[in-house]
Amino acid sequence: MNDDMLLLIFSYLGLKDRVKLECVCKKWRELALKLWRS
């Protein structure tokens, strides 16, 4: 799955789940940080 699709999915998650995303893997951490900035 490409980054844009993951960001779209992540954008529907709540605050607590977004924080948990950062612990899954390096790629998801980078995407979660990108999501916070947008």
User: Measured between alpha carbons, how far is 38 from 33 in angstroms, rounded to an integer?
Assistant: 9
Which pLDDT does position 31 carry in this prediction? 92
Which pLDDT does position 30 carry in this prediction? 94
Over residues 1-38, the pLDDT tens digits come to 899 999 999 999 999 999 998 999 999 999 999 988 87
Which pLDDT does position 2 carry in this prediction? 94
Task: Please give the model's pTM, rounded to 2 decimal places.
Answer: 0.77
Q: Identify which of 37, 18, 38 has the alpha carbon closest to the alpha carbon of residue 29.
A: 18
Which pLDDT does position 9 carry in this prediction? 95
Q: Are 29 and 36 in contact, with CB atoms under 8 Å apart?
A: no
Which pLDDT does position 38 carry in this prediction? 79
